[in-house]
Chains A and B, each alone.
Chain A
Amino acid sequence: DTAVSQTPKYLVTQMGNDKSIKCEQNLGHDTMYWYKQDSKKFLKIMFSYNNKELIINETVPNRFSPKSPDKAHLNLHINSLELGDSAVYFCASETWGEETQYFGPGTRLLVL
């Protein structure tokens, strides 16, 4: 009965590859987010979707393409992976207008 789940939990890949991370929430929320936590532990917003529509894109390279097939899912596809993409990626969700965001466990991406 996990509230916000992400797959995979760990992802090790070579530079130049394309990979996807999936996020699902079963809380009935209408807003979902992707955050990136770098090696210095800074968490920064990447994208926000409300009712499957993109509402925030925080100067993320266009190699990153989020996709929201429905309100419960927000996936992140990354093309041509670079060393600097190594980080922990967190998905979060909330109901628009309510204030508490619920976070997934994170996906640890290592680009070699």
Chain B
Amino acid sequence: KQEVTQIPAALSVPEGENLVLNCSFTDSAIYNLQWFRQDPGKGLTSLLLIQSSQREQTSGRLNASLDKSSGRSTLYIAASQPGDSATYLCAVRPRGAQKLVFGQGTRLTINP
């Protein structure tokens, strides 16, 4: 059974810092991995999607990496801004399954 874990559960940093969020999964048989952002009281917004054959994806100040063999992904946020404050969720799509398995999220606070 696929399980996804995110560390840390919460993170608070000053504005301008670069930071890394971690995600690990127990079964390397995945189709892809996605990072989502969830704002309080809102739905989820997809940030980056990495196929199982890829090592990383970039979008603006965000860079996500994937090491499938070790069951790890990281989300790197450069030059953090207060607007980046949100909960970040990692989700994997198990191979052969039409569903996403989510981690519990990292609640990120960027202090001005």
Contact = CB atoms under 8 A, between A and B. Distances in A.
A48 B98 contact: yes
A101 B100 contact: yes
Interface string A64-104: 00000000000000000000000000101000100111111
Given A41-B104, A106-B42, A106-B43, A100 B99 contact: no
Interface residues on A, range: 20 to 34
A86 to B, nearest CB: 16
Contacts of B34: 99-101
Given A99-B32, A100-B34, A100-B49, A43 B43 contact: no
A31 to B, nearest CB: 7
B91 to A, nearest CB: 8
Interface of A: 4, 31, 33, 40-45, 48, 50, 55-56, 58, 90, 92, 96, 99-106, 108
29 contacts: A4-B43, A33-B99, A40-B104, A41-B87, A42-B102, A43-B89, A43-B91, A43-B102, A45-B100, A45-B101, A48-B98, A50-B98, A56-B98, A58-B99, A90-B43, A90-B44, A96-B98, A99-B31, A99-B49, A99-B51, A99-B93, A100-B46, A101-B100, A102-B46, A103-B36, A103-B43, A103-B45, A105-B43, A106-B43
